[in-house]
Amino acid sequence: MIRVSRLMALPFALVAVAPCFAAEYERSGDWVFYSSAYAADGDVTWSACMVETRSPDGTELMLRLELGTGALSATMSLSNAEWNLGQDSPPFELRAGAGRWVLQGQAEGHALNVAWASDPAFANLLNTLAAANTAVLTTADGRDVAEFSLRGSSQAIGAMTTCAETQAKQGLAQLLAAAANKAE
């Protein structure tokens, strides 16, 4: 496991005009955890916490946790340069271990974006991806689209969850419950 933290700052003359950025990066097996924070006027705002992996065919799977205006935003993005998705594209399904999720989201061009903000199934998805060996993305009719190795997912997802929980000062379950309450 490789872990690198860095703070990139602008020269003193530019600090008053431009913000500073901080980032964290960790590779674990076939997965990468990274975060980015934005700081302006010395105040660090919420950092986005993300993990991603890529299948052998080039399909990218990214999970992102971010706190905005007091609520958790949990999203999944699947993309492949060869895809040509439209609003009428059928849903995809993701299978890992005994878990199965129908991915309803915004499909456009090369990507499908799924919002999980108020869905407690997101915690189940993270736990399953961390424990299983592979995840398979299929079309609604069951045709395999991509297979993802989950080697290293446990450490990467753990780092993403810790990143979000540390900043929010509460557990992921509480963050998801609060997001669900705000959505009602």
Q: Which two tokens stand for residue 170?
A: 């509460």
User: What mean pLDDT is predicted for residues 114-123?
Assistant: 79
| Long-range CB contacts for residues 3-11, cutoff 8 Å, separation at least 24 | none
Model pLDDT, residue 8: 31
Tens-place pLDDT, residues 126-184? 999 999 999 999 988 889 999 999 999 999 999 999 988 887 787 777 777 666 665 55
Q: Across the chain, what does the average pLDDT equal?
A: 80
Model pLDDT, residue 13: 30
Model pLDDT, residue 170: 76
Give the rounded percent of residues in the chain with a pLDDT score beyond 70: 74
User: What mean pLDDT is predicted for residues 40-54?
Assistant: 77
Q: pTM for this structure?
A: 0.79
Residues 6+ apart with CB under 8 A from 122: 74, 116, 176
